[in-house]
Amino acid sequence: MITIINYIIGVLFISLSIYCIVTNKIPLAGKYQGVKNITCHVRLEAGAIGIVGFLIIIAKIFEFEFGVMIGLIAFVCIVTLILEIITKTV
């Protein structure tokens, strides 16, 4: 049962990332205050969401431990933040 839920959550994350890239908006985000390049910002965030969704699916296939999964998600967040700083979207 948990395996099916992980696949569903992973697919939802990947679908959300594709939706964000196509519409250039992040759902439930009000105004983009302080964001200089909204398109680049949305693409970076959507890419991070898609990678996390992919990691959720892969984690069940290869049976990652919980700590490894948290570490991978934290790594994706840190890389996304660094890319936002480098591209000066924030």
pLDDT in tens, 13-72: 999 999 989 998 887 776 777 778 888 888 999 999 999 999 999 988 888 888 999 999
- Is the confidence at residue 12, as pLDDT, over 90? yes
Domain positions in the chain: 2-24+32-86
- Which residue is listed with tokens 């939802």? 12
DSSP one-letter string for 19-55: HHHHHT--TT----TT-S-HHHHHHHHHHHHHHHHHH
| Mean pLDDT (whole number) for 62-86 | 91
Q: Which residue has the higher pLDDT, 42 or 75?
A: 75
90 pLDDT tier (thresholds 50, 70, 90): low
Q: pTM of the entire structure?
A: 0.85
- Which residue is listed with tokens 């679908």? 15
